[in-house]
Amino acid sequence: MRDFLQGNHRGKLIDWLKIDSWIDSGLYGAWIGFRDWWSSYSSFFGRFEVKGFVRACNELACEALSLAVVGFLVLLTFALPAFEIAQGKINLSDEFSVTFLDRYGNEIGKRGLLRDDSVPLEEIPDHMIKATLATEDRRFFDHFGIDVMGTLRALAENARADSVVQGGSSLTQQLAKNMFLTPEKALSRKIKEAFIAIYLENHYTKPEILKLYFDRAYLGGGSYGVEAAAQYYFAKSIREVTLSESAMLAGMFKAPTRYAPHVNLAASRARANEVLSNMVEAGYLSEGQVYGARLTPARIVGRGDLKTPDYFLDWGFEEVRRLMHGKPNRIVVARTTVDLGLQRAAEDALEGTIEKFGKSRNFNAGALVSMEIDGSVRAMVGGKDYGQSQFNRAAHAYRQPGSSFKPYVYLTALENGFTPDTVVSDGYVSCGRWSPKNYSGGFRGRMTVRTALAKSVNTVAVKLSLKAGREKVLANMQKIGVKHLKKTCSLALGDTGMTPLQHVGGYAVFASGGIEVRPYGIEEIRTLPGELLYNHDRDEPPRKRIFERKVVEQLNSMLRTVVTAGTGRRSTLDYTNNVGKTGTSSAYRDAWFMGFTGQYVTGVWYGNDDYTPMARVTGGSFPAQTWKTYMTAAHDTDNIPQIPGVELHPRQVAEQTRIAAVMAQSTTADLPVPPPSENVKDMSAATRHVLEMISGLLKDAPRLNPNKKARPRPAAAAPAAAAQPNLASAMSTDESPRPRPTPAAIAAGGAASAEQTGSAPVPQ
């Protein structure tokens, strides 16, 4: 290589040895420098090296810091949806105020933000505010939404007493639960509650939060808010309550049903005395100032039977908000489908069973839903005590239905070529790596489909789901209205949760002969002046057939065998034929009985909120017994429609024969028809329609003015008065006079009515 820059054009050779020496010396110098730096670095941090106990504490602190970071990330995943919930409902102007009526038009309760009952905070007596703060949250004006000191104190007291004796939730946390969350006992709910409390503290002032709490708290008797409670218990405004009355109201925040004075006056007054002591301990009042209130406790007004269908009203309020979504009206009156007589029977049956057997058999939660075959809910019980837990298990608890899900599978099998007499084999079957086992263990060999359902054989149900197709089972469930189920190997055994309301609605399809059923609890909604906003019969689409009647009749006959010769024998009624199916989930966590007569469809569930197993409680034991107890009280007549595919009970046949004979005798001898042997509680559809029309005519009639004197009618008006239309003409669209029906026509009309309604005519 030559260097052409040289004048002699003679190049120099590159000094490769020099370059190699430079590289070697550079690398060596870098290594020496790094080694010196590392030595200095190690020497510096070596001064901080700890050993022994100090090192152990340091390691624990590092691990705690790591766990705290992970925990913060987990909490953040709950905080984001909690803030979304709060932001979505923070506009209180969109809240509804609903007054509820039962099916007969009697007022049964209110829900929502009752604006007409709201009282400004400055007008609420000072002793009411002090009684509430002294009992519920003494550090209310000092904490940021979560009372850390109060929570630690409550944990210490509960640990000392080995039970829950103090609550750790601040007043803001209680408001967050009342406004935005369900009362379900779950860790996720408590975390959301804490974050929403912080959110409220940053968006509202302390007086505003306290005012919202006074307006939203449930205080028993269907009363929400202190003003409604004061009117209900003392027949006065909250502005006028005395110290003793304030103490009684403040004592009900913790457990409104347990300390409600109409439920237990002694317990309510004892609790009020504790509130007075709390006010003294907090320094709000002296012992001398509360002495008079201790001597003269609060007196309440008589209200008679105070039990209100609170679980039903909560669900009804959800239905009103759904039906009125997007409409401007916010203060409405809703007539519901609930029957208070049936509701009380349902509550007594459920609560009595839990009270008597719950402790020994390890279950403390239950639910019952009862509806007519058209979907109108007559009774709903979401738990044993609304005051202790407002979580509505009937409408919102998703629990595994177990074997009570099998009728849906058998319905699909009947649609795809199987019959009740088809012979199947109870033997080994697998789906992937999973294979079901029977409750009794082992296999029974060949049997009919009817017997397999009656004995609740798991292997046969799984085989039928595989042969008929699990996709078809899911498609049928979507027809019924249950759309959240997934295709799994154990689908036939009820491995996915369903609410009791959904489950009863599914069985109502069987009771109706294959007509779709949409459970509903609202008949109509009106404004306060009476303007009709919603009517179920007018605004809901007509029901359509979703299953062939013949297939449903076959299934109902098989469900009848479950009651007569299977796992549901304890539900047998002695006055009408009933059908049903038991269900027990794995490890005895859930126990069900689902059944119906020709009039009512009812489902009963027992279990525990924390999913702990019960003491071998099956669907054929306490659920079936509770179902029978309720249904016996619900029916007070033998005049019950026939179940599709199931023959009438002998007592019903005898009653219909007697009525037919009496009707035949009355048409020939023109004798008065004697009344039936039993009172009819639920009237026929025709009679109910007539009474509803009368009610509508009375509502639309102009109000009489008592100040105006009645004017005497002229004599010429007398013949016109005789020509006034009667009730029959008011119901008819034809204004022409009709001839008086003959006895034969009356008999023919009664027979035609009986044929249409599916039951014998009841003599009037």
Contact 567, 619 (CB under 8 A): yes
Q: At what angle do helices 470-480 and 406-415 cross, to 10 degrees?
A: 110
Write the DSSP symbol of residue 490: T
Lowest average pLDDT, out of 161-165, 350-354, 402-406, 504-508, goes to 161-165
User: What is the residue range of 237's domain?
Assistant: 217-307
pLDDT value for 28: 86
pLDDT one-digit tens code per residue, 391-432: 899 999 999 999 999 999 999 999 999 999 999 999 999 998
CATH classification at residue 420: 3.40.710.10
Beta strands per DSSP E along 479-599? 522-527, 532-535, 579-584, 590-596
Confidence of residue 307 (pLDDT cuts 50, 70, 90): confident
Does residue 654 share a domain with residue 760? yes
d(CA 567, CA 433): 29
In a domain, 423, yes or no: yes
Q: Tell me the pLDDT tens digit for each residue of 107-146.
A: 998 887 655 456 888 999 999 999 999 998 888 888 888 8
Task: Report if residue 189 sits inside a domain.
Answer: no
Last-in-domain residue among 254, 285, 307: 307
In a domain, 273, yes or no: yes
CB 596 within 8 A of CB 552: no
Q: Looking at residue 763, what is its pLDDT?
A: 37
pLDDT over 70 at 230, yes or no: yes
Q: Is it the case that residue 680 has pLDDT exceeding 70?
A: no
Task: Report the first-to-last Cα separation within the chain, whole angstroms.
Answer: 130
Find the DSSP H helices in 5-52: 16-46
Residue 644 has pLDDT above 90, yes or no: yes
Q: Rounded mean pLDDT of 627-642?
A: 90
Decide if pLDDT at 713 tops 70.
no
- The Cα-based distances of 561 to 173, 596, 620, 637 in angstroms read 52, 13, 14, 24
- Per-chain mean pLDDT for the chain: 81
Q: What is the pLDDT of residue 702?
A: 66
373-390 per-position pLDDT tens digit: 999 999 999 999 887 788
Q: Round to whole Å and give the CA distance between 652 and 665.
A: 20
Structure tokens, 600: 């009512």
Edge-first strand order for the sheet with 331-336 is 107-112, 97-101, 331-336, 522-527, 532-535
Find the mean pLDDT for residues 558-563: 96
Count of structural domains, the chain? 3
Residue 171 tokens, joined: 């007043």
Tell me, what's the pLDDT at 187? 65
Query: From CA 166, how far away is CA 207, in angstroms rounded?
Result: 25
Structure tokens given for 67? 């766990």
Q: What is the pLDDT of residues 127-138, one digit of tens each?
A: 999 999 999 888
For residue 75, the model assigns a pLDDT of: 65
333 lies in a domain?
no
* For residues 548-568, average pLDDT: 96
Query: Residues 652, 755: one domain?
Result: yes
3-state secondary structure 661-707: HHHHHHHHHCCCCCCCCCCCCCCCHHHHHHHHHHHHHHHHCCCCCCC
Q: Is the pLDDT of residue 708 over 90?
A: no
Q: Is the pLDDT of residue 201 over 80?
A: yes
**Domain stop point among 495, 520, 552:** 495
Judge contact between 762 and 751, C-beta under 8 A: no
d(CA 210, CA 175) in angstroms, rounded, equals 9
683: number of Cβ within 10 Å: 12
Task: Please give the model's pTM, rounded to 2 decimal places.
Answer: 0.69
> Angle 236-242-247 (CA atoms, 0-180°, nearest 5)?
105
In a domain, 406, yes or no: yes
366: left (phi over 0), alpha (psi -120 to 50) or beta: beta
**717 found inside a domain:** no
- Max Cα–Cα distance, the chain, nearest Å: 155
Length of the chain: 764
User: For the domain that residue 286 is a member of, what is the CATH number?
Assistant: 1.10.3810.10
DSSP 8-state class, residue 520: B
Sorted by sequence, the CB contacts under 8 Å of residue 752 that are 6+ apart come out as none
Please say if the pLDDT value at position 82 is more than 60.
Answer: no
Q: Is the pLDDT of residue 724 over 80?
A: no
Residue 522 in 3-state DSSP?
strand
Where b means 16+ CB within 10 Å and e means fewer, 340-378 reads bbbbebbbebbbebbeebbeebebbbbbbbbbbbbbbbb
Among residues 383, 388, 350, 334, the alpha carbon closest in space to that of 218 is found at 388
Tell me which of 444, 460, 495 is where a domain ends: 495
Cβ neighbours around 725 below 10 Å, total: 11
Has residue 615 been placed in a domain?
A: no
Residue 283 lies in a domain: yes
pLDDT reported for residue 726:
36
User: What digits encode the pLDDT tens for the residues 36-49?
Assistant: 888 887 777 666 66
